[in-house]
Chains A and B, each alone.
Chain A
Amino acid sequence: MLGASVPVNVDVISEKCFDLIFIPIPGMTKWVNSEAYITGNLKEMHFDQLANQVRLRFSIAHELGHAVLHTTQIKQLRSGTFDEWKEIIEDLPDGVWGRAEFQAREFAGRLLVPFEILMQEILKLKPKIDKAKTIPNIEQDALAQYVASAVCRQFDVSSQVIVARIKSEAIDLLSV
């Protein structure tokens, strides 16, 4: 079943379950400083196929998050002319934009790093975590970095994503 194991196949989930058409846009990162976005009609995923593949996977999951969570806003903000569109992007309040970005980022993290599987991976590391805890004054952040480096490949995400997931799920590694 899609998504029942890691790494989660976010491309197939997007194409098959959300019927998104994947369209590579060569040079997107270079020219417009973006690796991926969901289109305003919520039908296409544009991405830079030359971007770092691990980052791109997260960006695709992030954009899928917008498609799932922000459908109403995206539909309401669509425009009839190029100038109107540019104004909408520029005038979008930072609060609205920042909140939507945070939510999409959280969606991507939860999709690519499911809590239950993350906990299983952390428990596999318990003997090593216990050993690390014998280091005087070892802190949660250092343990999170250690765990992240050890498990990020299984999820095919960067270690920063794992650290963010540990934080967002409030996993207390000092008590594992």
Chain B
Amino acid sequence: MTFGEFVREKRLNVNLGLREFCEHAEVDSSNWSKVERDRLPVTADREKLEMIAQLIGLEKGTSDWHTFFDLASLSQQKVPQDIYSDEEVLEVLPIFFRTVRGDKPKPEELDKLIELIKHR
């Protein structure tokens, strides 16, 4: 299990959605989502990590607590992956894509979306 998988599982065990968790943890949700997908290493700041561990319901000294820090240190050694491949982008392109205007997107918006998804 990776750090991202471990944290996500524990976070959902305490019924914290990504957005709510990031608000409480005072972390950027875009970056944290990458951490949970193992595309970005987690911070090495011990104080911050302890706060996050407590937020997801881990108790000091338990086996889960130690696993959390072991996996965090493995995550910190990873090289960030910035861009998804075309194949990976094709996998996630939406079908029922709704604009705020309430109509179908324009061709230029579809091109821009492909770019945004590559860097998600």
Question: Which residues from chain A sit less than 8 Å from chain B, CB to CB?
Answer: 2, 9, 11-12, 14-16, 21-29, 31-35, 37-41, 43-44, 46, 49, 59, 62, 66, 70, 73-74, 77-82, 85-86, 88-90, 92, 97, 100-101, 104
Interface range, B side: 35 or more
Contact between B18 and A11 (Cβ–Cβ < 8 Å)?
A: yes
B19:A74 contact, CB within 8 angstroms: no
Give the docked Cα–Cα distance between A23 and B104 (Å): 22
Q: Find chain B residues with CB under 8 A from A100 CB.
A: 96
Chain A residue with Cβ nearest B14: A12
Q: Within 8 Å CB of A35, what residues of B?
A: 100
Known contacts A24-B33, A70-B96, A97-B96; is A32 also within 8 Å of B112 by CB? yes
Interface residues of B (CB under 8 A from A): 8, 12, 15-20, 29-30, 33, 36-37, 86, 89-101, 104-105, 107, 109-114, 116-117, 120
* CB atoms of A37 and B96 under 8 A apart: yes
Given contacts A15-B18, A34-B99, A49-B29, contact A21 B94 (CB under 8 A): no
Taken together as a complex, chains A and B put the C-alpha atoms of A30 and B19 apart, in Å, by: 20
Tell me if B's interface is mostly helix, strand, loop or mixed. Answer: helix
A–B pairs, 21, beta carbons within 8 Å: A2-B15, A9-B15, A11-B17, A11-B20, A15-B17, A22-B33, A23-B120, A24-B18, A24-B33, A25-B30, A31-B109, A32-B99, A32-B109, A32-B112, A44-B92, A59-B98, A70-B96, A77-B95, A82-B114, A88-B95, A89-B104
Taking CB atoms, residues of chain B closer than 8 Å to A59 are 98
- List chain A residues, Cβ under 8 A from B114: 82
Residues of A within 8 A of B89 (CB): 82
